[in-house]
Structures are given as C-alpha cells and as structure tokens.
Chain A
Amino acid sequence: MNSIALLGQPNSGKSTIYNNLTGSRQHVGNWAGKTVEKNEGSYTYQGTAYTVTDLPGSYGLSGNSDEEIITTDFIRSGQSDLTVVLVDASQLERSMFMLAEFARLEKPAILVLNMMDVAKGLGKSVNADALEKKLGIPVLPFNATDTKDYDKLKKRIAAALQSPQTLSVTPPAAQSDVQADSQAKFDWVSELLSGVTEKNDKVFKMSKFDRLMTKPLLGKLICIGVVLLAFLVAMIIMIPFMSIGSIIPELLHDPVDSLLTGWNVHPWIVSIFSTMLPNVLYFTISMASFVFGVNIVFGFLEEIGFLARAAYQFDGLLSKLGLQGKAICPMLMGFGCTIGGACGTRVMDNWGQRMLAMSIVWAIPCASIWSIIPVISGMFFSWWQTMLVCVGILLYVVITMVVVSKVFSRKLAPKESRSGMIMELPPYHKAHWKHIIKEAFFKAWDIFRRALGTVTLVSILFYIFSFSKDGNVDNSLLYRVGTFIEPVTRFFGMGWQTFMAFVSGAFAKEAVLGTLNAVFMGNNSLLDATFYAKTAPTDAAMLGTAMTQAISPAEALAFMFATTFNIPCLMALSTTYKESHSLKWTVKVAAFYICNALVLSCIVYHIAALFM
C-alpha cells in the first residue's frame, strides 16, 4: 500500500487538500495515548490505492507540544512513504519554516506551493522551477480550491512514490539555543528564496471591515451579535432533525406497548421499551442534531477567518480566567446550549485549556434554564422580584466562573505552561461548504453513536430509582431515599420534593417543571414526568398554587439557584466526556458543580429565610 502524509502549518490549506483528496473515505480517531485527533483517509488513482495521513497542524516541529511530537515521531518512523509538505505561496518566507524543520528529518518529500492565486493577486511571482532545482525534490504550484489541480497533484505523488527524492540541499545547522536555531532556519529559507520570489516591503493596510472588527468596543459588539446569530442558525439547522426525532416517542409508545403487553411482558419492562428508550433516542437525536448545527456554523466562522478576530477581541478579558481569546465563542454559545458550548471548544489547541473552558461553560445558564426560572419565580414573586432573581443569577455566573478557574486552572492550565494567544489573523477566505457539512456530519454522528450508550445506561439507573409498582411517587426508591435524607437536604434548603426536582434537573433542565408537577400534584409518575417533559405541558397556574402552599419562598429561591448552578444536563455531561476523552476530569468537575450548587442553596436558603 502506498502511504503519504500531509504536513503544513495552520491556515496552509491542509484540511482542504486532505478532504479533496480523500472525499468520503475518511476515518477519524485519536493518536495512541494522546488527545489529538488522527485523520486518515484513502483514494485510488489509476487503479492504485493510496492512504493519506493528515498530520496535526503546528507552526514548527521543535517544540514539545503533543502535535509536534506526534508529527516528528510519525515522519521519523517511516510509516509513510512520502511526505507532502504544504506551504502558503502568499506568505512563502514564513511558511517555508516548516520545510526547514522537515529538512532535518531527511525523508522523501514533495513540496506543494498552495494559494498561488492569492500570491498572484498580491502581485507576487514564485519561480517553482528554480526552487525545485535548489531543493532537489518536486515542487508543485497549486490552488487547493481549484478541483482541476488535484489530478496534477495525484500524478506527482504517484511519480514521487516511484522514485522517492530526499532534499538535496543541506538542512539548516542545529544551534543549541532556540532563538539562534530558528534564526538559522529562517536564514536557510531566505537563502533558498533568493531568485525564486521577490521580497515585499509594502506597508500593510487593514481592510475596511477589519478596521471595524478590531475596534475595542465595536468589534466586541459585532462578535456578540454574530455569535447570537450563529446560535439562531444552528437552531434552525437542528429543527428538521429534531422534529423527526420528536415523533419517535409518540410513534413508538402505543405500538410497542400493545405489542409487548400482548406478549405478556411485565408492564415494568414494557415501560422501559415503550416510554424510556424511545425518549432516550429522541434526546440523543436532538443533541446530535444540535451538535451538527453548531459544527456547521462554527466551521463556517472558523474557515472564513472570523473566529480569529473574535479571539483577538476577547483575549485580554479571558486571560484573567486562564483561558485564551479563542474560548469566547463557545462561552457565548453556552447561553444557548451547554452542549453547543462544550463542542465549540474544539477550536482551542491546548487540551488543558480546552477542559478548563468546558468547565467554565458549564456555569453559563442555558436557554432551558432561562425558560424555567421565570416560571417558577413567577409563582412566588412579583415581576420585579423575578427580574432581581435573574440579575442575581447572572452575578453568580461570573462568581462561579472565577471560582471554577481558581480551583481547576492550577492543574489544567498552570501559569507556567499557560500559553498566551499567539495567532495569525488570516485574510478572509471563502467557505468550502461541502467540507464543512461533511465534517459537521462526522462529528454529530460520532457524538450520537457514543452518547446513546451513556444516556441509556444512566436512564436505566434513573428508572430503577424512580420506579414504583403503582406509578405513585410515594412508592419509589427515590422517594424513600429522598425522605430519608430530607433532614440533610433540608439543611441545604430543599425539602424532598424540590430535591427530587433538583436531581431530575441534572437529567434535563426541561424535566424540572414536569418533576415538580409529579411530586406536588401527584398525578403523574416520576418517570413519565422526566421523560415526557418535552411533550406533556405543565399547567403552571395550578402547579403554582400547589407549590406556594407546600413550600416557602426561601426554599423556592434556594431551589432556583441550586438548579441553575448544578451540573448541566446529562447530554452536556456526556458531550464533555466525549470531547475531553477524560472521564476523570468530567467527574471531578461534575462533583465540584454538585457541591457548589448545594452550598449555594444552603447559603441562599438561610439568608433568605431571615427576610422572608
């Protein structure tokens, strides 16, 4: 089998070339023992099969980041027969740095001068033949966006594999000190480029739009606006999939119920298959379709170069939390949905900071919370008091973020290893929709496949706990445990009813109202309440009357804060786990949030009880 590897800096057009070469024959995995994504694909050219490994993008190979170590080891090992080195022809002097790094590995290669069209547009000419003579390996002028160029590329690859060539030019001499070493590489590049391309000493002028985008206040407002719009678009993309998903529980309930009952299956088992599993499927479909939508809008914003501008705008603010500017988009996305926020952190390059960003995103109340808080608050308080509750929640969001950062940043992003933002603001690009949609689909499918298992498992556990023979809440294990530990939960400000709603909120925030309905009105089983939350409407007025008679305003207030700042829903938890690949950290952060919610509830309850 012929095996090639793609090597290039960020923004060199590497993923575009990878996608166009391999089409749908791609496989996404992880590098052994690392959290770095491994992309492998294949294609056939003139009857011969080729495998392509997309090496992780980095600016150099000398650093000790996971990406650089993986790349260096892979090339050294000789697992690929040929390395295709990509450079940006419009920024040749800087991007050839990668070739200088590669030269030291002394392996067969061809050089692809990508973005020749952009270089031409800037009035730069590159003499590929002259460069080829100097280097001693094939040099191919290329436009990654031009589909006609790929035939030439495949032909060159095939020829190079027949008679592999290693750089004939001597690699830059190694220096002991990093500064001198990099200097030697850039000198090596300058030497090679003399007579190949002319130096450009023009004064740089920002485009009109960029001048607005980089203004301190206006730029931030534009960013917030664009992300809110992006959230809306993600929702619109999600709607058709979700509507199909929402039919599943209704469609399956009756036929499955009558079929299994007809087979004399015990009703307890029947309800697992007729009520729980179809709803698990529906939840997971909703989640995956939202991930799909989020990945499309984020992929688009990243590819056109918008994310880099947003990161520039918010870097100063976020560095105080131990994060980079790149975290801003997932954080704003979190106001819509924590799942979206968690998977949006994929734009960050450092694992520790990424995990930290996800744990901070958890503190941001999602749209579901914003939809239940006013309803509950409205039962106990007047409109202006409800406004105050919302303001209080927002204030506590900031406090939680700071505390989470203080608690976890020491391990996840220690000051000395914290890498501040050093990034390129690439020129605005056109988006390649096919590639974006394909990648979003892969992500969504992956999340769906893996989350289905987790969600089913936890749902079954919840089923066992909430199970009661006659469907009455009072006979469930949860009730028994709930009333048994009520003296403890009472200390934290919650009676068994609100505590149960608090627990179900960890499942899905939408379930909170349904659970309250079940425990206070007693007309619904807890299981149905949790799993039918999205389909069975709750009569807020009736529930309000029942609740205000049963619990004090102080308890209601404590409950609202506890629910808002508890762990996000099960789907968000499972997304965080899948995205971080770390069960240990997901559990750690979850434990922190549960404690935080209980302590907060306790404080709010006891202070509020003094005044109410």
Chain B
Amino acid sequence: MKLTETTADTQGRIVKVDGDDHFMNRITSIGMTEGTAFQTVRNDKHMPVLVYLRETLISLNRADADRIEVEV
C-alpha cells in the first residue's frame, strides 16, 4: 500500500521509493530508504503526511508521499 493510505499510529516498513534522481536524493538523505521502519503520526486529508522514522518527525507533502510504497 501507499504511505498516503496508512492511518495514524500504523507502524511498518518502507518497501519502495520511486522518483527521479533529484527526488531520490532529497528523500533518501533525510532517512527514507527502502526497508526503513516508520510510524505514521498523522495523515489528514489535504495535509502533508507526518511520519516518524530514524528517531525524527518528518513532514512529507502528499504528492511525494504518494510515491512511497509501504507494508504494515
């Protein structure tokens, strides 16, 4: 499933991150790589997704969050 489909407090793992090099550099350097354990903190309509991973709270805009596949 997509990261945008998870609900608050779900825990899981990132399965796939996809995009061009520019995006991949940005997203992986903040810690979102395949296999990373995460916890969805908030996921409200029309709002960025709040995820907690690698001991950091990260706000990710919806369009980018849509490109992240996760398993819970």
On A, residues with C-beta under 8 Å from B are 58-60, 62-64, 90-94, 97, 178-179, 182-183, 186, 200-201, 203-204, 206, 214, 216, 308, 311-313, 315-317, 319, 324-325, 416-417, 419-427
Contacts and interface: CB of A to CB of B under 8 A. Distances in A.
Given A178-B28, A182-B28, A203-B11, A423 B59 contact: yes
B58 A59 contact: no
Given A178-B21, A178-B28, A203-B11, A420 B63 contact: yes
Contacts of B21: 178
Given A63-B22, A200-B55, A420 B47 contact: no
B48 A315 contact: yes
Given A60-B25, A206-B41, A324-B61, 5 more contacts: A97-B29, A186-B33, A203-B11, A311-B59, A425-B58
Contacts of A315: 47-48, 59, 61
Interface string B6-34: 00010100000100111111111111011
15 contacts: A59-B26, A63-B25, A90-B55, A91-B54, A183-B28, A200-B55, A201-B37, A203-B39, A204-B39, A204-B41, A316-B62, A325-B59, A419-B22, A419-B26, A424-B59
A424 B29 contact: no
A426 B23 CA distance: 22
A94 B56 CA distance: 8
A4 B9 CA distance: 44
Contacts of B72: none
Contacts of B57: 204, 206, 424-427
A312 B29 contact: no
A421 B23 CA distance: 11
Contacts of B37: 201
Contacts of A200: 55
Interface string B51-72: 0101111111111100000000
Given A178-B25, A203-B39, A319 B55 contact: no
A58 B30 CA distance: 10
B31 A97 contact: yes
Consensus secondary structure, chain B interface: mixed
B28 to A, nearest CB: 3
A234 to B, nearest CB: 26
A312 B47 contact: yes
Contacts of A91: 54-56
A64 B24 CA distance: 11
B52 to A, nearest CB: 4
Contact of A421 (B11, B33, B61): B61
A180 B50 CA distance: 25
Nearest to B35: A183
B29 A63 contact: yes
B48 A316 contact: yes
Contacts of A416: 20
Contact of B42 (A214, A317, A319): A214
B23 to A, nearest CB: 8
Contacts of B63: 319, 420
A424 B56 contact: yes
Contact of A312 (B20, B31, B45, B48): B48
Contacts of A417: 22
Given A179-B28, A179-B34, A214-B50, A422 B58 contact: yes
Given A186-B33, A204-B39, A420 B61 contact: yes
Given A93-B54, A204-B57, A422-B60, A178 B24 contact: yes
Nearest to B57: A425
Contacts of A204: 39, 41, 52, 57
Contacts of A312: 47-48, 50, 59
B61 to A, nearest CB: 4
